[in-house]
A and B are shown apart, each in its own frame.
Chain A
Amino acid sequence: MFLHFIPLLLAAQSIDSAPPHHAPRTVAIDERLARDAGLRLGDTLVLTPMPGGAGDTVIVAALVRRPRDPSEVARGAYRIRVHLDELQQLVGYGERVERFAIATRGSSGADSALRAIDASAFGFRAFSSREIAVESSTTFLVVSRFHRAIGVITIVASAVFLLCIMLLKVDERRRDVAALRLMGISSGTVVRGVVLESALIATCGSIAGVGLGALVSAFVNWHYQRVYRTPLTFSLVTGDIVVIAVGLSLGLGLAAGWLAAQRLVRQPPLSLFGR
């Protein structure tokens, strides 16, 4: 059974339903706050809506780990989860909430609930979780487009670099190629030889590149997880990415080798000897 959540414009987060008033009020704090402020389970805190103002005494009952939410990554704010009624009272919110999250049975249930809520709503709107996910992931789509553009520039730079290196390598072999041609080796065989060599270089480069990429990726994750204090993964080397990178590298290597070889075999062997 699939549960579909339909968050509405939001409410403060609550740990559970309102506890009985005679019980000591409890809060859950995030691990980061606990670490930075040296707080432990059972510690007593005073929560106030304003610095120096009157507040409520509460007990730290739980430590919570932040969800892996990329939209939170650059925010250094601490989080405290308080019982809903207590937070409403503390900040003078009355009976107001900012959003509801609703679980329904099945996707059709979610759709019909959306329609029913929107039909009877006044002053609020129901959104499906998918709509909210699309809206909140806009930032990451922009970053992704930026990375793609940088990637294209890098590929162009690599292509020129590779072509230049292949040209130099092939140029170094002018005399060898001239000798081969004078011995009767066909230009097709020479081209194939050069292309094979460039494929070999590209393959070796790709393997080294994948290794280097994996190392850099591990470093990036280690660094940014420390900077932002999050378990999020920032860089991921997947099979698809390796296939694309190796494919591109091989394709570029072969093209560069072929172009360089063509340039060489078009010249008469004697001119390659410098005569």
Chain B
Amino acid sequence: MILSLAWASLVRHRARTLLAVAGVAISAAMLLDMVMLASGMRVSFRSLLLAQGFQIRLAPRGTLPFDTDATIPGATAIMSQLKARRDVVAVSPVLGAQLHVERGAASVSAAALGTIASVQGDYKILTGRAPTIDGEAAANDALLSATVARLGDTLSVAAGFDPQLRAFTGQRTLRVVGRAHFIYLAAGERALALPLTSLQAMEGASRADRVSLIMVRLREGAAVEAARSAIDREIPVVSAISTATAIEQVEQRLSYFRQLAFILGSVSLAVGFLLVTTLVTVSVNERLGEIAVLRAIGVRRARIVEQILIEGSVIMLVGAVVGMGLGLITARYLNSILASFPGLPEAIHFFLFQPRDAWMALGLLAACGILAGIYPAWRGASLPIAGTLREEAVA
């Protein structure tokens, strides 16, 4: 009976109920988006960092990986030191540089990564194979398209320019042996990978035995933080960064989005709460006589409270379910806006759907729906029966 009464009360004012559901749906959509924004970046950044199984990254002391042009000196000795550790499984050095692919009189710039193919974790080969010897390279689609090159073609590449001699420096002819997808680079960024020693030689004396980054993979079950701390202490020229600290540092830089998510999420929740409270309160005020009659014929207070709470919860839940769908659509749109941040890796998503987020948003909204019904329910249940009936009869 209680359910039928609650339903009858909701359908009695269809337009009003539909508007309330629409309002709650928009609030729910916003809430879901903000919950996704609050955790999406962290989750996608974490999965990006762990995608290749490297738990620790070593950058030049005081910097973040590839945050500056600084490099780590004495890379060979550092790598030997790292490999000697029992908890280390693999060490992958990376040198980053800007190379220029000659195209007649002009040149096309591209990001270049010097790696050791057998342990590298920066790119995935889509076709062909990874470059293993001097004179080989793997390029991504953006570079192949800009240079109109294909697998097997050769590229004339230079590391720099000498303005006084008006000549390229560090020139090489590289054969494209693979088509690659670079995991940490932005969409559309031109890039090529070549053996570490080739890139170091092209860059000249300034990059001899230097790397930009060293990635370390630990044995399964190894204590990451203890290993990070030990490496940081033992090798003074590097900052050892674990996945957790990297996420923390990136979050510090992008704390704005987390705070925005918290503020807008709270506002959405408050708007939904106000809307449902107002609607249910007005609905109860309109039915004081009806509630008094129910009480007069012996319906218990708890049943009245139950009915009013059900009304609030139904509006909130129906709105929330509609809002979840709406939220996914708007999240996709908002993510497409933020994905155009310059230099943002393609794999990073600010809005990432996780079932946990949806449950959290639904839970918050359900709690809000119940809370929103408390005041009108208390008002309805505490009516003086005789007085209300008399007032309603006079009215």
Q: Which residues of A contact B (CB under 8 A)?
A: 50-52, 74-76, 92, 121-124, 138-139, 142, 145-146, 149-150, 153-154, 156-157, 160-161, 163-165, 167-168, 171-172, 224, 227, 263
Residue in chain A with minimal CB distance to B260: A150
**A74-B253, A168-B16 known; A157+B30 contact, CB < 8 A:** yes
Number of A-B contacts (CB under 8 A): 86
Please, which residue of chain A has its CB at the minimum distance from the CB of B264? A150
Q: Which positions 132-167 of chain B face chain A at CB distance < 8 Å?
A: 160-163, 166
Chain A nearest CB, measured from B395 CB (Å): 9
- Interface residues in B51-77 by Cβ distance below 8 A to A read 61-62, 73
Q: In the bound complex, do residue B337 and residue A161 qualify as a contact, i.e. CB atoms below 8 Å apart?
A: no
Name the distance in Å between A160's Cβ and chain B's nearest Cβ: 4
Asked if B282 and A172 sit within 8 Å, CB to CB, the answer is yes
Q: How far is the CA of A123 from the CA of B282 in the complex (A)?
A: 74
Q: What residues on B are CB-neighbors of A50 within 8 Å? A: 61, 73, 237
Question: Which residues of B have CB within 8 Å of A138?
Answer: 342
B254 at the interface (CB under 8 A from A): yes
Interface size on B, residues (CB 8 A): 44
B307 CB → nearest A CB, Å: 20
Closest 9 CB pairs of A and B: A123-B161, A157-B26, A164-B19, A160-B23, A74-B253, A122-B166, A123-B163, A168-B282, A51-B61
Chain A residues whose CB sits within 8 angstroms of the CB of B341 once the complex forms: 139, 142
- Residue numbers in A under 8 Å from B61 (CB-CB): 50-51
Are B338 and A142 neighbours in the complex by a CB distance under 8 Å? yes
| Closest residue on chain B to residue A160 by CB atoms | B23
Q: Does B27 touch A at the CB level, under 8 Å? A: yes
Q: How far is the CB of A177 from chain B (nearest CB, A)?
A: 15
| B15 close to A51 (CB less than 8 A) | no
Residues of chain B with a CB closer than 8 A to A163's CB: 19
How many angstroms from the CA of A103 to the CA of B236 in the assembled complex? 42
Chain B residues whose CB sits within 8 angstroms of the CB of A160 once the complex forms? 19, 22-23, 26
Instruction: Tell me whether A161 and B15 are in contact (CB under 8 A).
Output: no
A–B Cβ pairs within 8 angstroms, 18 of them: A51-B61, A51-B236, A74-B254, A92-B206, A122-B163, A123-B160, A139-B341, A142-B338, A153-B30, A154-B30, A157-B26, A161-B271, A164-B19, A168-B279, A168-B282, A171-B13, A171-B286, A263-B15
Tell me whether B26 and A156 are in contact (CB under 8 A).
yes
Q: Which residues of A contact B330 (CB under 8 A)?
A: 153
Interface membership of B255, Cβ < 8 A: yes
Q: Which residues of B contact A76 (CB under 8 A)?
A: 252
Starting from the known contacts A50-B61, A50-B73, A153-B30, 4 additional A-B residue pairs (CB-CB under 8 Å) come to A76-B252, A139-B342, A142-B342, A145-B337
Asked whether B340 is an interface residue with its Cβ less than 8 Å from the other chain, the reply is: yes
Name the prevailing secondary structure of the A interface residues. Answer: helix
Nearest opposing residue in chain B for A166, CB measure: B19
Considering the complex, give the chain A residue whose CB is closest to the CB of B252: A76
Q: Once bound together, how far apart are the Cα atoms of A165 and B20, in whole Å?
A: 9
Q: Quick check: A157 and B23 within 8 Å, CB to CB?
A: yes
Min CB gap A116→B, angstroms: 15
| Least Cβ–Cβ distance between B322 and chain A, in angstroms | 12
C-alpha spacing A75/B161, complex, angstroms:
30
| Chain A min CB distance to B14 (Å) | 11
Shortest Cβ gap from B319 to chain A (Å)? 10
Does B9 belong to the interface (CB within 8 Å)?
no
Asked if A157 and B161 sit within 8 Å, CB to CB, the answer is: no
For the complex formed, measure the closest distance between the CB of B114 and the CB atoms of chain A, giving whole angstroms: 20
Q: Hey, which chain A residues are within 8 Å of B162, CB to CB?
A: 123
Q: Identify the interface centre among A139, A160, A167, A172: most chain B CB within 10 Å of its CB.
A: A160
B236 proximity list for chain A (CB < 8 A) = 51-52
**CA–CA, A154 and B15, complex, Å:** 21
In this complex, what residue of B is CB-closest to A172? B282
Residues from chain A with a CB closer than 8 A to the CB of B27 are 157
Q: Is the CB of A171 within 8 A of B161?
A: no
Closest Cβ–Cβ distance, residue A125 to chain B (whole Å):
10
CA distance A236 to B64 in the complex (A): 32
Residue of A nearest to B253 (CB): A74
A154 neighbours in B (Cβ, 8 Å) = 30
Contacts of B275 in A (CB 8 A): 161, 164
- A149→B339 CA distance, assembly (Å): 14
For the complex, give the distance between the alpha carbons of A171 and B237 in Å: 73
Q: Which residues of B contact A165 (CB under 8 A)?
A: 278
Q: A150 vs B331: C-alpha distance in the bound complex, in angstroms?
A: 10
A21 CA / B73 CA spacing, docked (Å): 29
Q: In the complex, what distance in Å separates the CA atom of A164 from the CA atom of B264?
A: 21
CB-CB < 8 A to A92: which residues of B?
A: 206
Contact of B255 among A146, A171, A227 (CB under 8 A): A227
Closest B residue to A50 by beta carbon equals: B237
The answer for the CA separation of A123 and B158 in the assembled complex, in Å, is 11
Contacts of A139 in B (CB 8 A): 341-342
Closest Cβ of chain A to B369, distance in Å, is 16
